[in-house]
Structure 1
Amino acid sequence: MPCGAGLGFKRRMLDDVLSGKPSAVDFFEVAPENWIPFGGKLSKKLRSLTEKHPFITHGLSLSIGSLDPLDVDFVKRVKSFLDEHNIQIYSEHLSYCSSDGHLYDLMPIPFTEEAVKHVVGRVKHVQDIIERPLVLENVSYYAAPGQQLKELEFVNAVLSEADCGLLLDVNNIYVNSINHGYDALEYLQGLPSERIVYGHIAGHYDEAEDLIIDTHGADVIDPVWALLQQAYAHHGVFPTLLERDFNIPPMPELCVEVEKIAEFQRQSLTAEQRA
Structure 2
Amino acid sequence: MQTSKLGRVGLGFRREMLDDFLIAPPHIAQFFEVAPENWLKMGGKYGRQFKQLTEQYAFICHGLSLSLGSPAPLDVAFIKSLKAFFKEHNILLYSEHLSYCSGEGHMYDLMPIPFTEEAVTHVARRISQVQDILERRIAVENVSYYAAPGQEMSEQAFTLAVLEQADCDLLLDVNNIYVNSINHGYDAEAFLKAMPSERIAYGHVAGHYEEAEDLLVDTHGAPVCDPVWQLLEKAYHYHGVFPTLLERDFNIPCMTDLENELQHIEGIQKQHHQHKKGVA
Report the aligned-residue RMSD. 0.8
Matched, 1:184 2:188: yes
Matched, 1:141 2:141: no
Q: How many residues align?
A: 275
Task: Name the aligned partner's letter for residue 8 of structure 2.
Answer: G
| 1:215-234 CA distance string (max 9 Å, x none) | 00001110010000000011
What is the distance in 1 between the residues matched to 2:132 and 2:92? 14
What is the distance in 1 between the residues matched to 2:273 and 2:76? 41
Q: With structure 1 as the length reference, what TM-score do the two structures score?
A: 0.98
**Secondary structure at the residue paired with 1:156?**
helix
- 1:233-272 correspondence runs (5 A): 233-272=237-276
What is the distance in 2 between the residues matched to 1:84 and 1:222? 39
Matched, 1:49 2:53: yes
Residue among 159, 163, 169 paired with 1:155: 159
- 1:97 is matched with 101
Structure 2 unaligned runs (5+)? none
Is the 8 Å Cα contact of residues 218 and 247 (structure 1) preserved in structure 2? yes
Structure 1 unaligned runs (5+)? none
| 1:99-147 CA distance string (max 9 Å, x none) | 1001111000000110000001100110011111011000000011111
- 1:273 is matched with 277
| 1:73-117 CA distance string (max 9 Å, x none) | 111111111010111200000000011001111000000110000
- 1:219 is matched with 223
Task: Name the aligned partner's letter for residue 20 of structure 1.
Answer: A
| 1:29-74 CA distance string (max 9 Å, x none) | 0000010121232222111111111111100111000001101111
Q: Which moved more, 1:261-270 or 1:12-21?
A: 12-21
Task: Name the aligned partner's letter for residue 207 of structure 2.
Answer: G
Is the 8 Å Cα contact of residues 64 and 122 (structure 1) preserved in structure 2? yes
Task: Name the aligned partner's letter for residue 260 of structure 1.
Answer: H
Is the 8 Å Cα contact of residues 88 and 132 (structure 1) preserved in structure 2? no
What is the distance in 2 between the residues matched to 1:266 and 1:132? 31
Q: With structure 2 as the length reference, what TM-score do the two structures score?
A: 0.97
Is the 8 Å Cα contact of residues 58 and 92 (structure 2) preserved in structure 1? no
Task: Name the aligned partner's letter for residue 124 of structure 1.
Answer: S
**Secondary structure at the residue paired with 1:224?**
helix
What is the distance in 2 between the residues matched to 1:148 and 1:3? 39
Matched, 1:74 2:78: yes
Spell out structure 1 runs of 4+ moving beyond 6 A.
Answer: none
Matched, 1:24 2:28: yes
Is the 8 Å Cα contact of residues 12 and 248 (structure 2) preserved in structure 1? yes
- 2:65 is matched with 61
TM-superposed deviation, 1:274: 2.2
